[in-house]
Structures are given as C-alpha cells and as structure tokens.
Amino acid sequence: MIRAKIAQLALLAAAFAGSLPAHAESGWALLNMTQGVTDISRKIYSLHMEIFWICVVIAVIVFGAMIWSIVTYRKSKGAVADVTLVHNTKVELVWTTVPVVILVFMAVPAARTLVEIEDTTKTDLSIKVTGFQWGWQYDYLDSGVAYYSRLDRKSDAARELLSGIDPTTIDHYLLNVDKPLVVPAGMKVRLLITGADVIHSWWVPAFGVKKDAIPGFVNEAWFKVDTDKPGLYRGQCAELCGRDHAFMPIVVDVRSKADFEAWLKSKAAEQKQAAAPAAAPDVAPAASTG
Ligand SMILES: [Cu+2]
C-alpha cells in the first residue's frame, strides 16, 4: 500500500517536471535563480548554489539519522528509551564546532561579495532613480537628461476593469514600460536610488541589483553588464508600495557604448529643444477678432 503511494508520488513529480515550460533554460533550471549578465550576479548565483548544496548535505545527514533512528529503534521492535544519557561534553563540543566551521566557511565568500556589491567607487556613469506612485524617474546626472518611465499604454489599457482586452494578446503584459532606462554595456553604472512618496524597491534580477527607494534617503547600487550582453532586461518594484504596486515594471535597455552615447546626445538635444521658450505668436492682438 505504502509502496503504491510512493510510486504514485514519484509519477506525479515526474509529470510535474515534464510539464514545466521548455525555455532556453529548461526543467528545474527555471525554478532556480538566474545567473544574470553581470559579474556580481554570477557571484551571487555561485554563492546561492554553494550554500544550497551545503544545506542539502546537512539535510540528508540530519534527516537520514533521524529517520533511521525512528525506524530502527521503534517501540514495536522492543526498543527502550535511554534515560541515562543526559550530558556528554565531547558530543556537545562536536555539535558546536562543526556548525561554527560551516558558518565561517559560508560567511567568508559571502562577505567578500557583499563588500564588492557596496563598492560604488570608480563608476563611469551616475543615474538617479526615483521611485514614485507608480513609476520610475531616471536622471542622468552628468548630462541633465531626465524622464519618467511608466507602464506601457497597451498593458495599462488592458488592465482596466472591464476593458474587454485579452491580456494574452499584449506583448509582455505588465512587464513593458513606455521609456526604458538606457545604459551602456561594459561600463560601471552607479545608481542613486530614492523615493518620492513611499518606499519602493528597484529590482532587476539579471543585474543582481535590488535596492530600496526610500524618501529622504539616497541608496547606492551599481552594475556593469557584460560587453557581449546588450539587450532588454526586466524587473519590478519589489516593495509593496500601494494600490498600483504591480503596475510599475522596470525595463533596462542595455546598448553598446557607441549606441548609448548617440542616444544620450540625441535625448539631451531633444530635451533642450522642448525646454526652449516657444517663439512669440506672429499675430497682432488687434487682428484677432475671435
Ligand atoms: Cu511598489
């Protein structure tokens, strides 16, 4: 009976594994965190995997010993509880020392990566990111280019109650923005992250960046996308910030250095033109008869 149940569970697990969507990454890899496109994101991924396997080994040893003891020394087999073993210094030393050694073994590489994550020196570009209800404002501090980035129009129309629009027909539903953050690949980009109203969080998994956007505070983060990995990368606000929290996605458009510089130049010119005062109307007031 129990064997039949176990076989049934194994079949179910196999069916579940088989039903996972086949992507570039397939099967169980989809359930794992992504390796990302920056050096830091790969370091975070390796740390995650190392610590995951340490936990697996510990779990196998601990649960194995527990289950084996329960089965082997069960009452129905005539086992009698040992009430004499109340203290053993040797055993206590071992079960204190071993976890301490394991923790230090995990903490050293983790601390090293954390220090690297916090190192916002020697950056090539600084962008101020301001989270607001509900979107993101990007200010390129060195060039004066600034704009808002919000949920794209198509997703915004489809999400309305009784819109009648089928969300499955929308490309990247709720994950597209009108104006993505444009950055160069291969350059160290520093983000100065703050909030305009409540706490938000700027999160792009592929970069290994997730930082709270807190009103009155400026948090720092940085990323450097691999030179050979330009493309669109998506993220979300990761701090519950109110009614439309689910509708303020993040899209980062990573371009080659030359492409980025050309974009920044044209954007700066465009903004300069838009800010210039409009020419005075060429009509004399008396001629205006309504
Ligand atoms: Cu939010």
Residue pLDDT, tens place only, 278-287? 655 555 444 4
pLDDT score for 81? 86
- Ligand 1 centroid to 193 CA: how many Å? 14
| Residue 1: pLDDT over 60 | no
Architecture of the domain whose range is 40-118: Orthogonal Bundle (1.10)
Q: Kindly report the pTM of this predicted structure.
A: 0.80
Residues forming beta bridges with residue 139, ordered by sequence position:
128, 146
Cα 287 to middle of ligand 1, angstroms:
53
Distance (Å) from CA 231 to ligand 1 centroid? 24
Read off the amino acid at residue 87: H
Ligand 1 geometric centre to CA of 212 (Å): 10
pLDDT, average across residues 113-127: 95
At 7-45, the pLDDT tens digits run 565 555 555 444 444 444 567 778 888 899 999 999 999
Q: Which residues face 128 on adjacent strands?
A: 139, 192
For residue 272, the CA-to-ligand 1 centroid distance in Å is 31
Q: For position 62, what pLDDT does the model report? A: 95
Question: How confident is the model over 219-236, as a mean pLDDT?
Answer: 96
**Ligand 1 centre and the CA of 151: distance in Å?**
12
Residue that wins the pLDDT comparison between 24 and 76: 76
With the CA atoms of 135, 140, 144 and 150 taken in that order, what torsion angle do they form, in degrees rounded to the nearest 10?
Answer: -20
Residues 111, 119: Cα–Cα separation, whole Å = 12
% of the chain exceeding 90 in pLDDT: 76
- C-alpha neighbours within 13 Å on the C-beta side of residue 112: 8
Tell me how far the alpha carbon of residue 246 lies from the centroid of ligand 1, in angstroms. 7
C-alpha dist (Å) from residue 80 to 88, 91, 172, 230, 234:
20, 22, 63, 67, 60
CA distances for 62 relative to 58, 68, 99, angstroms: 6, 10, 13
Segment 74-100 mean pLDDT: 91
Rounded Cα distance between 188 and 137, Å, is 20
Give the residue ranges of DSSP H helices in the chain: 2-19, 39-72, 89-118, 153-159, 257-275
The CATH number given to 125-275 is 2.60.40.420
Lowest mean pLDDT among 22-31, 83-92, 205-214, 260-269: 22-31
What are the tens digits of pLDDT across the range 149-206?
Answer: 999 999 999 999 899 999 999 999 999 999 999 999 999 999 999 999 999 999 999 9
User: Higher confidence at residue 101 or residue 278?
Assistant: 101
pLDDT of residue 38: 97
